[in-house]
Structure 1
Amino acid sequence: MNKFLMFLIDRINFFTRILLGVGLLCMVVLISLQVAVRFILPKLGMPAGLPWTEEAARYLMVWVIFLGGAIAARHGLLIAVTALIEALPTTPSRLLRRTALALLACIFAAMTWYGWQWTLFGADEISPALTLSKFWLYLAMPVGCALAAVNTLVLMCQNGETQEALAA
């Protein structure tokens, strides 16, 4: 595979990992704030509520799941049943693995397209607490699935190059 393309994808994944870390940190802060406001402040005689923190944490979790799945796809860490691939001889095993990865990339591409359709469909909805367009929530699916499709194709090509080098 083209070294520049690999470099570009790895850079995108690097920044995606940073976004994942920031997203997880924000979720922890928001949920901790919600717990403090809901349970600690009333004991001090200061009842208060921050309903937007739950919604923001929930929306961040959706983004973290889709982006994290894309990063997992790059490293072959998505859940898989590999008993048949491991039981087969080398050549059929390689072929079956590449076929499975190609099928997975196609599924991610279809999810990207349908996710974009859903994003456009739900763009008029407004979230109750944050009063944001749900476009930003629904956008997590097409973005995450597009990145997962690219990462799966890169993994497929990388595995092919590695196994060809081992065979030589």
Structure 2
Amino acid sequence: MGTFLTVVRFVLNGYFKLLKVVVSVLMGLMIVPVTLQILSRYTGIIPRYIWTEEAARFCFIWIILLGATIAVKEGTHFEVDVLPTPEDPKKVAILRLVVCAFMLLFTMVFVLNGWAYAIFGYNQTSELTGISMVFIHGAYLLAGISWLLFLCEHTLTAVSVLLGNTEAVKHLKGDPNVAR
């Protein structure tokens, strides 16, 4: 399982880096319509643009969902530390599997409903920007699928630790030897 897990981790780390770049670009792009909104509202220099509000809202939706995806990969989303982190790596792995199981329930809601939502938006277009709404509604489906991929990585890592792979221990969340 070690080699397979290494390949999975390599591919998902590349995807993770791509997501961080996309979120950064979207943050930069969102500055443009928001700045235009502010300038048009408080100065007479430029006319009021209606499309800017919609463009900012669409960027914001993608930023939120991709940001949540990044947090799932980092193991910092949808988790609350109620109990102290166990010292034994196998207990940490069991705790990680429990967290992944609960997160999987929410992930499946996003995947199944995201699919229906994307189909719903397929034949619709935005009135102001003319963008097909599938590009907006599809963000929920993409987030759900991405969460599923990252949860599979976390699950494989935890199972690998339970099977005695000492190399996988450093990838468990909560291990004090892992640099975050």
**TM-score bin (small chain):** 0.7 to 0.9
Partner of 1:99: 98
* C-alpha distance in 2 between matches for 1:92 and 1:106: 22
Where structure 1 has 5 or more consecutive residues not aligned to the other structure, the ranges are: none
Greater helix proportion: 1
1:15 aligns with 2:15: no
Give the AA of the match of 1:32: T
User: Does the 8 Å CA contact 1:105/1:153 hold for their aligned counterparts?
Assistant: no
Instruction: Kindly report which structure 2 residues correspond to 1:52-71, keeping only aligned pairs within 5 A, or say none.
Output: 52-71=51-70
**Number of residue pairs matched?**
161
* C-alpha distance in 2 between matches for 1:19 and 1:87: 33
Partner of 1:32: 35
* Sequence identity (%): 20
Per-residue CA deviation, residues 4-29 of structure 1 (Å, 9 max, x unaligned), is 22111111111111100000011112
* C-alpha distance in 1 between matches for 2:51 and 2:77: 32
- Residue 144 (structure 1) shift: 1.1
1:50 aligns with 2:53: no
- Residue 161 (structure 1) shift: 4.3
Instruction: Kindly report which structure 2 residues correspond to 1:156-167, keeping only aligned pairs within 5 A, or say none.
Output: 156-161=155-160, 164=164, 165=166
Where structure 2 has 5 or more consecutive residues not aligned to the other structure, the ranges are: 170-180
* C-alpha distance in 2 between matches for 1:51 and 1:82: 44
Give the AA of the match of 1:95: I
Per-residue CA deviation, residues 103-156 of structure 1 (Å, 9 max, x unaligned), is 313431331121011110222222121122211110000001111121122123
Partner of 1:130: 129
CA RMSD across the alignment: 2.3
